[in-house]
Homo-oligomer: A and B are copies of this chain.
Amino acid sequence: MHPLTHPAQAPAAGADAVAEAEPAGRVASASETAAGPVSMPTAGAPSAEPALVTLDDIRRAAGVIRGVVVRTPLLRFGPPLPDDASGRTRAWLKPESLQPIGAFKLRGAYYNIASLPPERRAAGVVTHSSGNHAQGVARAARLLGVRAVIVMPSDAPAVKVERVRADGAEVVVVGPSSEERAERAAELAWRDGLTMVAPYDDAATIAGQGTIGLEIVEQLAEIDAEAGVGGRLSPFTVLVPVGGGGIASGVATAVKSLAPDATVIGVEPELAADGRASLHEGRIVTWPTEQVGRTIADGQRTGHIGVIPFAHFRRYLDGILVVSEDEIARAMVRASREARLVLEPSGATSLAAWLFHASELPAGGPVVCILSGGNVDPERYESLLARGIAAGG
């Protein structure tokens, strides 16, 4: 067993059967059964295991988002020459920063809204977010001709508010706390009959993000085929950032379903390592906002992972690695210099894990780093690059 493997990783008894018998989709998701926003547990394991997203759900999502999202390429990173015939003994980057909104969030938001029944689409959607999810929902709603209301904090950067408005979404500004945002969104959902599009604690959102995992497996197989190496994929490792757990859940489900020998490891900033704490304790642990708010990785300042993601983590995730703030800034510099990619701090955590924690990964086989996004103002980007260079580049 790999050292990162945690006790909670063993599949819950019958989990497989549940997943097979009740393919998760919008109907089976927690956000659907709850009226209004997803109910968030403060701590403790949920009393009933939520149904898991299946490979079929993710394949369906891939069909729906085709032509809307970019099939981001796998880019080589690291030493120039392959160590083996397959050309895969090195790191590959999956730059979701190249999506139209600069982050993977469009995948889940688009699939989520596209799979709503017609009468709910007609009524519109609502969400609360200060970050990439807001842009994902705004863009998806615009492309699908659906009304979108986004509740944003009063201290959100003007550029983010402008981008959401540019996509035609209605912006409702409330105080800076996330509780205020969630309450106001729930209120609007109730008042106007809007459907909440949850950023991670939702099966449809997870299925959409899972399409990244599907693409990775397909692309590694294509690379093998081009190198003349046919047949079964040899073992590989995927590093995926963890905030609320949506992308990690979807990716782990897709990858493990298609390639059971693969390893999927989440990555968190050590200042916001509540997900790792949750895996260790076998229950969802919440870290205070004052704590997680200290990381530069603004996309990973979620104080706890979702109920549905936690169930996927227990079933499919091999562990969570943590990285330091300096490591994140240094990975941003390396991505800029060696991969010519602008990454936001959250988008660089998986690369940081590979660059500075390779000894904690399974030996052998290629590593794929999912770079989740690149939305960072040039001014802030400059100062983060300077920090990374000062820390060793």
Contact = CB atoms under 8 A, between A and B. Distances in A.
Interface in A332-367: 333, 336-343
Interface size classification for chain A: 35 or more
A91 B388 CA distance: 33
A104 to B, nearest CB: 12
B100 A340 contact: no
Nearest to A103: B340
Q: How many copies does the complex hold?
A: 2
A27 B148 CA distance: 61
A393 to B, nearest CB: 7
A393 B378 contact: yes
A380 B48 CA distance: 55
A80 B167 contact: yes
Given A81-B142, A341-B342, A382 B379 contact: no
Interface in A59-98: 66-67, 70-73, 75-76, 79-81, 95, 97-98
A73 B73 contact: yes
A226 B66 contact: yes
Contact of A73 (B67, B71, B340, B374): B71
A333 B378 contact: yes
A249 interface: no
Given A340-B342, A341-B342, A382-B386, A98 B80 contact: no
A166 interface: yes
A11 B10 CA distance: 71
Interface of A: 66-67, 70-73, 75-76, 79-81, 95, 97-98, 100, 102, 139, 142-143, 166-167, 223, 226-227, 333, 336-343, 373-375, 377-379, 381-382, 385-386, 388-389, 393
28 contacts: A67-B223, A67-B226, A70-B75, A72-B73, A73-B73, A73-B98, A75-B100, A79-B166, A80-B100, A95-B98, A95-B340, A97-B340, A98-B339, A98-B340, A98-B341, A102-B338, A102-B340, A336-B378, A337-B378, A340-B342, A340-B375, A341-B341, A341-B342, A378-B389, A378-B393, A379-B389, A381-B385, A382-B385
